[in-house]
């Protein structure tokens, strides 16, 4: 569950031994929307990419109830992925919705206005497809 205030921008290419499975499948560089700006690589790996930053990251607002977002692919066709996005509040599922990722256009429907959620689902879908293509 990546931090809900993390906007992933670019896949990290490093010599790090990959985690068993990161929430966005790959590790990403990005922007902290909690006001931190540039993110230290270790901090980015442990809190931005892996989530559960509340109480661990000094930038995460203590009053914010939304603590993480989970993504799961539930279906795939030649043209789209169907993904369930689950929002967690204080580590409990509180809301979810289904999003379609249109593969050839690299867009989601319905459109997501929140910049962090939108970037996360786009990076998740790209990573998912990359891993499927490696098989």
Q: What total of structural domains would you count in the chain? A: 1
Q: Is the pLDDT of residue 37 over 70?
A: no
SS3 120: helix
Would residue 1 count as lying in a domain? Answer: no
Asked if residue 54 belongs to a domain, the reply is yes
- Say which residue, 48 or 66, is predicted with more confidence: 48
What is the token pair recorded at 82?
Answer: 């169907």
Phi, then psi, of 134 in degrees rounded to 5:
-70, -20
Neighbours of 115 (CB within 10 A): 11
Residue 74 is part of which domain span?
Answer: 6-134
| Residue 119 forms part of a structural domain | yes
For residue 96, is it within any domain? Answer: yes
Judge whether residue 30 has pLDDT over 60. yes
The verdict on residue 76 lying in a domain is yes
Residue 66 lies in a domain: yes
Cα separation, 131 vs 66, in Å, equals 28
Residue 118's Cβ-side half-sphere holds a number of Cα atoms within 13 Å equal to 10
């Amino acid at each position: 569950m990546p931090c809900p205030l993390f906007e992933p921008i670019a896949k990290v290419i490093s010599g790090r031994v990959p985690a068993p499975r990161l929430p966005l499948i790959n590790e990403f560089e990005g922007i902290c929307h909690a006001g931190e700006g540039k993110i230290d690589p270790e901090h980015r790996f442990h809190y931005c990419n892996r989530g559960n930053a509340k109480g661990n990251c000094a930038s995460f607002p203590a009053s914010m109830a939304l603590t993480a977002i989970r993504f799961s692919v539930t279906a795939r066709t030649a043209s789209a992925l169907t993904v369930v996005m689950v929002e967690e509040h204080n580590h409990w599922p509180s809301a979810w919705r289904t999003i379609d990722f249109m593969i050839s256009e690299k867009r989601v429907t319905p459109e997501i206005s929140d910049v962090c959620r939108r970037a996360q689902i786009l990076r998740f879908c790209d990573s998912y497809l990359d891993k499927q293509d490696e098989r």
